[in-house]
């Protein structure tokens, strides 16, 4: 089961007024939807919600929702924040079967860029996709998709086929081996090369 447990209450008041009342009482309002059941208005203690949120394992991960003695595997799909105070204002949870596949967007993490050959060659990493949507079992959602750049050379193109996905997972885009990132000559290197060429021309002149 999931690492995070959200203890929720069912909200009586729905709409903007009900959500404001929940916030004033120290709760974060939210909605549970999905499956073959109607949406349910929920609330979670704000302090507990913040603790779960700051683990980094709430949004986009399998979470156990607990209401009394009942439990339900869910995925936290979205959290809205106050733009000034950064206080969580609202959340969306989606019902899932933890062993069934779901569509989820997973961030892409690039490692060892500083040690890569292209870094010594004056190259730069140009990221095309910072996240990739995959179809994966709810209990196998990865924290991130890792791209190891330790051997990356100038001119390399990194595609989805270069990334190891969890067993049974696949990208939702299936008609092409799409690009994740490319490695090109950096603007700084191009500028330095132009300066060298100009200097050489002046010296020769």
Rounded to 5 degrees, φ, ψ at 93 are -120, 140
Q: With contact defined as beta carbons under 8 Å apart, do 149 and 110 qualify?
A: yes
Q: With contact defined as beta carbons under 8 Å apart, do 9 and 67 qualify?
A: yes
The residue-averaged pLDDT of 14-19 equals 74
- Rounded Cα–Cα distance for residues 35 and 202 (Å): 72
- Of residues 186 and 67, the one with the higher pLDDT is 67
The residue-averaged pLDDT of 26-46 equals 91
Say if 4-97 and 102-204 have the same CATH topology. Answer: no
Q: How many CB atoms lie within 10 A of CB 28?
A: 26
Say yes or no to pLDDT of 190 above 80: no
Q: pLDDT band for position 16 (50/70/90)? A: confident
C-alpha distances out from residue 126 to 103, 117, 123, 171, 184, Å: 26, 15, 10, 21, 7
Specify the CATH number for 4-97; select among 1.20.950.20, 1.10.260.40, 2.40.50.180, 2.40.240.10.
Answer: 2.40.240.10
Q: pLDDT band for position 3 (50/70/90)? A: confident
Say yes or no to pLDDT of 191 above 90: no
Q: pLDDT band for position 1 (50/70/90)? A: very low
- Rounded Cα–Cα distance for residues 105 and 60 (Å): 7
* 102-204, CATH topology level: RNA Polymerase Alpha Subunit; Chain A, domain 2 (2.170.120)
Say yes or no to pLDDT of 193 above 60: no
Tokens of 77: 């799909």
Q: What percent of the chain has pLDDT over 70?
A: 88
Write out 26-88 in H/E/C secondary structure.
Answer: CEEEEEEECCCCCCEEEEEEHHHHHHHHHCCCCECCEEEEEECCEEEEEEEEEEEECCCCCCE
C-alpha distances out from residue 168 to 73, 87, 136, 138, 174, Å: 20, 37, 7, 11, 14
pLDDT at position 129, please? 96
- Of residues 187 and 173, the one with the higher pLDDT is 173
In this structure, what DSSP letter does residue 59 have? B
C-alpha distances out from residue 37 to 12, 40, 145, Å: 17, 9, 32
Domain boundaries, the chain: 4-97, 102-204
Token pair 């949120």 is at which residue? 53
The residue-averaged pLDDT of 58-64 equals 87
């Amino acid at each position: 089961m999931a690492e995070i447990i959200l203890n929720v209450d069912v909200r009586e008041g729905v709409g903007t007024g009900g959500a404001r009342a929940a916030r004033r009482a120290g709760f974060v309002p939210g909605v549970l939807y999905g499956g073959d059941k109607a949406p349910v208005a929920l609330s979670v203690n704000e302090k507990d919600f913040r603790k779960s949120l700051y683990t980094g394992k709430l949004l986009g991960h399998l979470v156990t929702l607990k209401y009394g003695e009942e439990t339900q595997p869910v995925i936290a799909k979205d959290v809205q924040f106050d733009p000034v105070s950064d206080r969580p204002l609202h959340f969306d949870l989606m019902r899932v079967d933890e062993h069934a596949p779901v569509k989820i967007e997973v961030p892409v993490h690039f490692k060892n860029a500083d040690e890569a050959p292209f870094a010594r060659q004056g190259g730069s990493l140009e990221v095309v996709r910072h996240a990739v949507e995959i179809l994966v079992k709810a209990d196998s959602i990865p924290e991130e998709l890792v791209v190891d750049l330790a051997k990356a050379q100038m001119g390399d193109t990194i595609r989805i086929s270069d990334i190891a996905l969890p067993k049974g997972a696949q990208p939702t885009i299936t008609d092409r081996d799409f690009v994740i990132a490319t490695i090109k000559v950096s603007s700084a290197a191009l500028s330095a090369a132009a300066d060298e060429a100009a200097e050489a021309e002046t010296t020769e002149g």
